Amino acid sequence: MKKFFKIFKIILTIVFTCYSIVIIYFIALSPKDKRFKFAEHYQGIYLSQTMFDILIWQYPTYSDAYFEKSVIFNKTGAYEKGSLLLDKAVEIDPKAHLGYRGWLVLRKLRSYDNALQDFDRLDSLTPTVADAPWGEGIDFLRGECYFGKKNYQKAIEMFNRNIQNQKEDWVDIQSFVYLGLCEYELGNFEKAISEFRRALNQYEHTPESYFGIARAYQKLGEIEKAKEYILKAEENISFKRDDVYNEYLNEIYLSEVLEFKQSLSE
């Protein structure tokens, strides 16, 4: 019986020890890419942040770990904490992280000058590369920055450059929408209509373009045409540009389409 207990105790000791070793190995000693992927996948839970902390401690120049750890802070509005980490990632590897920081500052914080600084710096570091921070053309994003700053001439320059670089048939149609909006703001209503039409030539379900054309026709005094296009905007509103994280600068709403439609009938 004594022998049995002794063997039982030894087995338990081995099981407990192996269990602990597996956990410690998984969290602190397994290949860093595997740990990074796990922590990235489970973004937001404490374990994920702890694993990034361990990675940063073990590899102080692992810029992706700083960057990825910052994401949940920025998503939850803790921008001070997020920026400290993201700034460190940029400091270590500016080419890899400047674009994301610019994109974040533009889309999440609407801090246009800071975003432009990052995009310009990234561009200067990669003169031969057409940068695409977070998958969007750098000139498109710069155009959005200038649009946000209400510098419409400069925004037009950037959106046109984006179209030239990415070619008319391949470019994000929102470049044309923004061009239309800029021309509208500058009072060039006919030019605005032609720019909005360029978006419709690529994709007929672009409510931003229909709405823009309706507003331009109203300014030109062509109310019947305005009515025709506002109906199309209403019909296509379900195709509008939106994002679950943030409101876009050129986002339109059904309520404003209906309000405009109402104003045309008065």
Partner 1 sequence: MSPYTIHAKFITIKPNIKLKNKLNLILFISFFLAASLTIWVYYQTTNRTGKIEFNKDIDDPEFVVCDEDRILQYYSVKTSYPGGKREIKKQFSKLISNLTFKDSGLITFRFVVNCNGDVGRFRVKMVNFQLKKNHFEDQKIKQIQKEIQKLKKWNPGKWRSESFDSYYVLNFKIENSKITDIF
Residue ranges that bind partner 1, judged by CB under 8 A? 6, 9-10, 12-13, 16-17, 19-20, 23-24, 42, 44-47, 49-50, 72-73, 75-80, 82-83, 108-111, 113-114, 244-247, 251, 253, 255-256
3-state secondary structure of 220: coil
- Cβ atoms 72, 49 nearer than 8 A: yes
> How far, in Å, CA of 266 to CA of 263, rounded?
5
> How far, in Å, CA of 210 to CA of 189, rounded?
14
Tokens of 42: 């489970």
**Eight-state DSSP code of residue 252:** -
Please say which residue, 52 or 210, places its beta carbon nearer to partner 1: 52
Closest distance of CB 78 from partner 1, Å: 6
Closest distance of CB 207 from partner 1, Å: 14
What is the sign, positive or negative, of the torsion defined by CA atoms of 90, 95, 100, 103?
A: positive
Closest distance of CB 139 from partner 1, Å: 23
3-state secondary structure of 259: helix
Return the closest-CA partner of residue 40 out of 74, 24, 64. Answer: 64
Closest distance of CB 43 from partner 1, Å: 9
Closest distance of CB 17 from partner 1, Å: 5
Please say which residue, 45 or 130, places its beta carbon nearer to partner 1: 45
> How far, in Å, CA of 42 to CA of 37, rounded?
9
Residue 226 carries which side chain, given as an amino acid letter? A
Q: Please state the separation of Cα 224 from the chain's center in Å.
A: 38
Tracing tokens 């860093």 back to the chain, one arrives at 32
Please say which residue, 111 or 160, places its beta carbon nearer to partner 1: 111
Please say which residue, 170 or 245, places its beta carbon nearer to partner 1: 245
Closest distance of CB 83 from partner 1, Å: 4
Please say which residue, 44 or 60, places its beta carbon nearer to partner 1: 44
Please say which residue, 201 or 246, places its beta carbon nearer to partner 1: 246
Distance separating the N- and C-terminal Cα atoms of the chain: 98
